Amino acid sequence: MNLKSLTLPELADIFKELGQPAFRAKQVYTWLHKGVRSYEQMTNLPKELRELLERQYPICPPEAVRRQESRRDGTIKYLWRLSDGNCVETVLMRYHYGNTVCISTEVGCRMGCAFCASTLGGLVRRLEPQEMLDQVLFTQVDSGLPVSHIVLMGIGEPLDNFDNVLRFLELVNSPEGMNISMRHISLSTCGLVPKIDALAERKLQLTLSVSLHAPNDEIRNRIMPVNKAYPMEQLLEACRRYYQATSRRISFEYAMIRGVNDSQDNARELLERMKGLPAHFNLIPLNHVEESPLQPSTRGAVAAFQKTLEDGGIPATVRRTLGGDIDASCGQLRRNYTRQTEKREP
Ligand code: SAH
């Protein structure tokens, strides 16, 4: 068990069993959530306690095996090696409103989206709550940049790792920990309908992002296998329920793929489908993935699509691409690293 996956009350229980006073639990919790790499750094703890914790609950911080920094916009991308040797990536983006960390929630992904590099090798395993927290903590420690916003848009499908993701949110939101407001957190899903309903029940103030990427089932089935389990109408119904339960406007992601989902007809059909659902669209020019024949839309097609949505009353922004010079998207760093090491160790 890793102490960093525990909430403060749970940690307090462990310290009680160890015969330690309650304030020690709070001290340790605070240190752990600062991203210390060893108990030795916990200077206000008695030496014997530090040694006992080191023996029973080693911290096992992730190791940065790759670090790339964009010269253009300061985006930093990390590839972390976890304690079992698996790797995940984290991206730090510098926006005017604050430093934002994009974290992975799984090692690999089983959703199979046709345009995505993270899913090419399938799902290896889900991340523990502390492994998600560590990405935020150690990105902050390594970069020296205070993190104020988090997006769950890295490798993996957060709602396919529901319990661990919810626990991570509780940890990162805790006042004694990083104290990051739910309003500064976005969670992105490919559209697991029952899990969207389960999330709605929690009434969290985070932003739900739904990866829609298509105006109809025919196109969505082609690029997102999850649509066969939860077709678009069911998904949009779940979004309506989510909005009713939380009063939080949903943000929709739409990766613009040349000749697949980017025509004016597609935009008009999308407008029609979205009627009555308060939404915001993020149009993302597709990031080309080597293994895939899909190509990004032209700038003109993206602009025309945006205009049609906006004219129809749906706010749409074209996502600025950051870190274009450093493979900073969706599983590409892990993929390239795994390929290189596979070549070296056949
Ligand atoms: N599994 C979650 C979150 C991870 S992906 C989800 O599907 O939402 C984060 C976003 O990046 C998703 O909208 C995903 O569809 C998109 N994405 C994946 N590969 C992409 C690519 N090659 N180009 C542009 N967007 C991509």
Shared domain for 13 and 79, answered yes or no, is: no
Shared domain for 85 and 171, answered yes or no, is: yes
In a domain, 86, yes or no: yes
Closest Cα to atom 24 of ligand 1: 286
Shared domain for 205 and 315, answered yes or no, is: yes
CATH of the domain at 213: 3.20.20.70
Shared domain for 158 and 65, answered yes or no, is: yes
In a domain, 326, yes or no: no
Q: What is the DSSP letter of 272?
A: H
What percent of the chain has a predicted confidence (pLDDT) above 90? 89
Shared domain for 122 and 69, answered yes or no, is: yes
In a domain, 52, yes or no: yes
Instruction: Ligand 1 pocket test: pick from 103, 111, 153 the residue with the most ligand atoms within 8 Å of its Cβ.
Output: 153
Which two structure tokens, joined as six digits, stand for 205?
Answer: 């103030």
Residue where a domain terminates, one of 20, 35, 56: 56
Domain carrying residue 103 = 61-181+334-346
Closest Cα to atom 21 of ligand 1: 287
Residue 330 is among the residues annotated as catalytic for this protein: yes
Total of domains in the chain: 3
Burial 148-184 (b: 16+ CB within 10 A, else e): bbbbbbbbbbbbbbbebbbbbbebbbeeebbebebeb
Residue 113 is among the residues annotated as catalytic for this protein: no
Ligand 1 centroid vs 162 CA: distance in angstroms? 18
For the entire predicted model, the pTM comes to 0.94
In a domain, 90, yes or no: yes
**Contact in structure between 50 and 196 (CB atoms under 8 Å):** no
**Contact in structure between 114 and 223 (CB atoms under 8 Å):** yes
In a domain, 250, yes or no: yes
In a domain, 329, yes or no: no
| pLDDT tier, 345 (very low <50, low <70, confident <90, very high otherwise) | very low
Residue pLDDT, tens place only, 46-88: 999 999 999 999 999 999 999 999 998 899 999 999 999 999 9
Beta-strand runs (E) in 240-311: 250-256, 279-285
SS3 label, residue 58 = coil
Instruction: Ligand 1 pocket test: pick from 330, 332, 333 the residue with the most ligand atoms within 8 Å of its Cβ.
Output: 330
Shared domain for 174 and 229, answered yes or no, is: no
Residue pLDDT, tens place only, 22-40: 999 999 999 999 999 999 9
